[in-house]
Amino acid sequence: MDLHLKDKVALITGGSRGIGKCIADCFAAEGADLGICARDSEVLNQAVTDLQKHGTTVIGIPTDVTESGATEAFVNGAVEQLGRLDALVCNVGGREGEGLEDSTDEDWMRTFDLNLFHAVRASRASIPHFRKSGGGSITIISSISGWKPAPSRAQYGATKAAEMFLAGAFAWELGEIGVRVNTVCPGSTMFEGGAWDRFRNDNPEGYERFADREFPTKRLGTPEEIADATVFLASDRASWVNGASIPVDGAQGRPNAF
């Protein structure tokens, strides 16, 4: 299926590793030019080199999305270099702190900054560029942790639930300028260096029990599977999908703690 992304421009926050890098790779394979950001300049530069194998233009801008003005500077700087904006993917996420008694206000605010507020800032900064391009799409990478509570880490799930609400609200607000807004909600996803990879290495028997219990197919998802859904959703081939939260979880259906 031709996703009609050749010569389009996509921006991906957190595009240097894991799910974000796979999303960037999928866009580039479809012929899109890319702007990606991450905090680690060395890892970011390597990702840019890797992604250029597809022959499209790829730029990387070191960015900490929790710093004042940094997310906006990434969006505006990337569009200035690439000339337009057609798709924005807000992929940065994470959490600070543990359970309620062991977490601070700062932990909660940091978690909201990483997830919800960075998506708000990136979306707001993108609006003038979408107007010039005649529309586009915003996709927020949320999580099934926003669907149902997990045994702990409420601050993370709360931000992911808020991202889903955000997409639905922004879909209405930005529809008049031709911008669709959706969330993709991954389940537990395996990639090298990620949390589940560390769990598998530290506790292989526990990992096997987890995969056997929680997934009909007895395995976790891959970043490529998340990327395929994300890039399709961002393309014009998904033109009637708007304000939706799409689980990509292999029927896992519920978040889990280790």
In tens, the pLDDT along 131-142 reads 999 999 999 999
- Whether 248 is in a domain gets the answer no
Instruction: Please check whether residues 85 and 133 belong to one and the same domain.
Output: yes
Distances (CA, A) of 85 to 7, 24, 220: 11, 14, 33
Mean pLDDT check: name the lowest of 119-128, 213-222, 223-232. 213-222
Note whether 15 and 120 are same-domain residues.
Answer: yes
Which domain range does residue 194 map to? 190-220
Confidence label for 18 from pLDDT (cuts 50, 70 and 90): very high
Q: Nearest to residue 138, comparing CAs of 94, 176, 184, 93?
A: 184
Q: Same domain for 66 and 168? A: yes
Active site positions, annotated: 156
> 14 and 100 share a domain?
yes
Report yes or no on 254 lying in a domain: no
Q: pLDDT digit string (tens) for 203-218?
A: 999 999 999 999 999 9
Q: Is residue 165 part of a domain?
A: yes
Tokens of 219: 């395995």
Does 193 score more than 90 pLDDT?
no
Q: What is the mean pLDDT of residues 182-200?
A: 91
Whether the per-residue pLDDT at 258 is higher than 80: the answer is no
pTM across the whole model: 0.95
Residue 1 lies inside a defined structural domain of this protein: no
Same domain, yes or no: 130 and 56: yes
Which residue bears the tokens 């889990």? 256
The number of distinct structural domains making up the chain is: 2
The per-residue pLDDT for 208 is: 93
Region 36-55: what's the mean pLDDT?
97
Give the mean model confidence (pLDDT) for residues 174-178: 97
Question: Do 45 and 151 have their domain in common?
Answer: yes
The mean pLDDT of the chain is 95
User: Are residue 113 and residue 204 in the same domain, yes or no?
Assistant: no
50 found inside a domain: yes
- pLDDT tens digits, one per residue of 82-97: 999 999 999 999 999 8
229 part of a folded domain: yes
The verdict on 94 and 197 lying in the same domain is: no
**b/e burial code for range 84-107 (CB count within 10 A of at least 16 → b):** ebbbbbbbbbebbbeeeeebeeee
Same domain for 195 and 177?
no
Assess whether pLDDT exceeds 60 at residue 257. no
Query: How does pLDDT run across 161-173, given as a tens digit for each residue?
Result: 999 999 999 999 9
Same domain membership, residue 206 and residue 176:
no
Q: What confidence tier does 256 reach under pLDDT thresholds 50, 70, 90?
A: confident
